Structures are given as structure tokens and as C-alpha cells.
Structure 1
Amino acid sequence: MKSTKGFTLVELVIVIVILGVIVIGVSNFTGYGIQVYTDNTAIERTLAQSRFSIERMTRDIRSAVPNSIRISGGGRCLELIPMSNAGSYIEAPFFPTTANSMHVFSSSVPLVGEFVSIGARSDAELYLSQAGASARFEVLSVANASADVFELEIGSPGAFISESDRNRYYMFERAITYCVLNNGELMLYQNYAWQNASTPSEGALGQGILMSENIINVDVFAARESSLVGAALVVLQPEFEVLGESFRYNHQVQVVNAP
């Protein structure tokens, strides 16, 4: 009779060891690949968030109403008033003369409920609530006086504090604030009531919108005051950290509008 041949115990052990080594190698390779993918995803997400935030803030800063830039919290927060419309005014009341209406040129119909500003020389004139003489008034009604000329009703007789050297007016809705929280999140706050304080509390700003994460520095915002002939310059310098590595922006943005 022929004897049946099979694996010896030694051969079986060798096969098991070889298979074990192969499995471990494949597992390590797969784990390394997954880790690389996870790391790359985290880096790409942080880069995308940072670019989006910089682009959004740049757009808002460039269209800001003159002298509406406010930096607070040691550089953590940036408040500004985005412009919705602008043009030249024909006539408007200036202190000490008062009136309840003004006439402006505009290629589009001004919106009731927005605010109109002329000649603001400081952020205090724009943000502080003042009776009588002010740098901003709410538009209560709009009438089309003639082609591209509109009459804006601004309520009880009032007056703008200063004239514009360029006969410019600006229209806007509300201020917005970008603020970096202690946890490194950059939040956007909007649709909140006017804040007289230069450093409003987070509770007064309402619910924020998350713009980006992983910011590790405090001095995120800096600004140079505008003058009668030059616009303000805002520096965006957030530093982001991801996987133990950090990168920092140094992006300068000029406010296009001038008083």
C-alpha cells in the first residue's frame, strides 16, 4: 500500500508563521495608508477653511463703509460695516441745519430700513446712537424724484455731523464682527443690534457662524486708521495649526472706500 503524504508539524508551523508575517505586513501597510489619507484630509480641510476665511474677510473689508473698522480684544475681533450701495448726494442736511429728507443719485433704488451715512470721521460717529446730529440715519421711505434721483426720508429733523469732501454717501444694513474664540474658532456674527461699546460682549452678538478652526494666535487683526485722503489698511494675520505644524498669513487689505 502507498502511504499518504501530508504536512509535517514543522511545515505547518512554518506556513502559519509566514502567513502571520504577511498579514502583519499588509495590516501595517494598510494602516499607514489610512493614516496618510487621514492626515492629508485634515491638512486640506484646514487649508480650505483658512483660504475661504481670508477671501471672505478680504471682500467685506474692501467694501466697508469708511471709518467703520474697529479692532478689539487685543486683535481677536474685527468689526466693520459692509456697504450695500453708494453714490453722490445732491442735497442733505448738515449741522446746524436740520431736515427730515435728502436727495441722492443712485443707479438702483435705495432700500427702506437700511441706513445712510455721510462724512463719518471716526467709528464712534457711526456706531454711537446720537440724537439730532449723527453720521448715520435710518431710511424710512424712498421716493423717485426723477431719473436716478431719489428722495430719502430720514425721520425727525436731523443733520449729518460732517460733509463729505467727495459728496459721497454710503448705505448699509448692519455691522458684522469676525472674532476668534479661546478654542481657536473664527466666528462671524451678523444681524445684531448696534453696539456702542468698542468691545461688545459675545452674548450681545448672538449666534455666530463658524468660518474656520485651529487658530492659535491672539493678534489676528490689526489696522491703520484712515485719513481724509487715504483709506484704512487692515492686516489679517491668523496662525493655523494642524498635526503639530503651523502656518501664518500676513495679508494686507485696503478699504477701497474713502469718506
Structure 2
Amino acid sequence: MSSRGFTLVEMVLTLIVGSILVLGIAGFVELGTKGYADSVDRQRIQTQAQFVLEKLSREFRHAVPNSFSDSGNCLSFYPIVYSGFYAVEGNDIRFLIGNSNVTPPLANGLSLVINPSRQQDLVNDSFDVSGLTNGAGYFAVLNQAASLESNSINRRHYIFNANGRVEYCFTAGRISRNGVQVADSVSAASFNYLEPTLQRGGLVHIKLTFTQNDESSHYQQDVQVLNVP
């Protein structure tokens, strides 16, 4: 029984078919790899968007009511340090803090505000409570009641850090908090504060657009400020 090898034509055909198969497999692998990379990028953007929205929502909800100021691509506000109730006795403002972990004296830089209607009220119409103690069972701002611009219907007060204003800004494709980046790949963003009405408290409308590899994802969320003056 005689044996024979490949002819030249058969060898050429084998090489051609093999090359086609290799190219096909390589193309398939490339598509799969690209698809996986795209899905990873997509997941990263979604995770980042969820993180940013959750962070913004948590901070906005627990801000001093009416302490918001929006200007172009930035939104600023003052976080609540303490809150509680007050009463006017003569020309004194006596107040309690609804936090059992407060250790007098109160820290430096803290101010008390009652019934603010805008951010400027926290600057012009607040009372310095740094160093106050509650030896009589309550804290007291002495001889200042006549300076109250208005009273809270619910007799609520808010204490904030006068130097602790928080500002979120959108610039150059990034969202920053007091200059520290919290998100990138942002192609558009806006923060709008809507003042409270009789039916609801203050509302912050957030719109974010994240873009990567020519693919954009749009996010919108309304955050209600939980506290009322």
C-alpha cells in the first residue's frame, strides 16, 4: 500500500482555510473582550452615579432648612450640627439640644439660627453659641431675644458651624465637594433649589449626565429637605 503526502494545492488550501478560521476566532475573541470592557465601563459609571446621588441626597436632606444657595453650576448649604427647641424668656433665648451626647461647653464656631428664610440669614441673623454651658438644665443666649427677626411656629432652632458651609460644583467634567473631586466623566450637571411651600418642604432638583466612550447616561432626582424652620 503506497502513501503520498499533500500536494501543493492541498497545502495552500489548508493554510488559507486555517488562516480564515484563526481570523474568525480572533475577531470573535476581540468582540467578546470589547463587549466585556464596555460592560465594565458601563457598570463603573452606574456605580459612580449611584454613589454621587446617594451622597448628595443624604447631605441635602439633613441641611439647615433654607440654607441653600444655587449659583450657576454650584449649590451651597450648611449642614445641621445640632437641633432642638427654644423658648424666649424676657430678653433671653433659652434652648435645649435634642442630642444626649452633647458635652458642654459647645464647640467654637457654632451658631444658632431660628426660622431662616435664606442662606444670608445664617450669616446676618444667627447667634454665636460657642462655649455655652447648660448648668441650669438648658443653654441660654443672653440679652439677644430682641434681635430675633422672626420666630419659628414649632419653636425649633438649628445649630451649625459658621465656617462649615458645603459647596458642590460642576466644573471641567467633574463634580467636587469643597474643591475635592467626588465624580468624573460628567458631561452636564445642574442643581436647583426650590423654596418650601405650604404643601412641602424645600426641594433640590438634581440632573446629572455621565458620558464615556460616546455613550451617555442621564440621571434626575428630587431630594426633599426633611427639616422645616
TM-score under structure 1 normalisation?
0.74
What percentage of aligned pairs have identical amino acids? 27
Look up the match of 2:131. 141
Name the CA shift for 1:249/1:92 in 2 (closer, same or farther; >3 Å): farther
Distance 2:60 2:54 in 1: 10
Name the CA shift for 1:179/1:40 in 2 (closer, same or farther; >3 Å): same
Structure 2 counterpart of 1:163, from 145, 151, 156: 151
Look up the match of 2:177. 188
* 1:107 and 2:95 correspond: no
Look up the match of 2:34. 35
Q: CA RMSD in A?
A: 2.9
Query: Any idea what the Cα deviations from partners look like across 1:180-228, whole Å, max 9, x if unmatched?
Result: 11x2211111xxxxxxxxxxxxxxxxx41x222233235x111222358
Query: Any idea what the Cα deviations from partners look like across 1:49-106, whole Å, max 9, x if unmatched?
Result: 1111111111111111011011112xx111111213211124479xxx5x6x844243
Q: How does 1:176-255 map to 2 (within 5 A)?
A: 176-181=166-171, 183-189=172-178, 207-208=179-180, 210-217=181-188, 220-226=190-196, 230-255=200-225
Q: Which residue identity does 1:82 align to in structure 2?
A: P
Structure 1 counterpart of 2:112, from 112, 116, 133: 116
> In 2, are the aligned partners of 1:142 and 1:150 still within 8 Å (CA)?
no
Query: Any idea what the Cα deviations from partners look like across 1:118-143, whole Å, max 9, x if unmatched?
Result: 222221111x3x4xxx2242x32242
Q: Which residue identity does 2:156 align to in structure 1?
A: R
Name the CA shift for 1:253/1:178 in 2 (closer, same or farther; >3 Å): same
Look up the match of 1:7. 6
> In 1, are the aligned partners of 2:191 and 2:204 still within 8 Å (CA)?
yes
> In 1, are the aligned partners of 2:52 and 2:183 still within 8 Å (CA)?
yes
Q: Gaps (5+ residues) in structure 1?
A: 190-206
How many residues align structurally? 222
How big is the shift at 1:29? Answer: 0.7
TM-score under structure 2 normalisation?
0.82
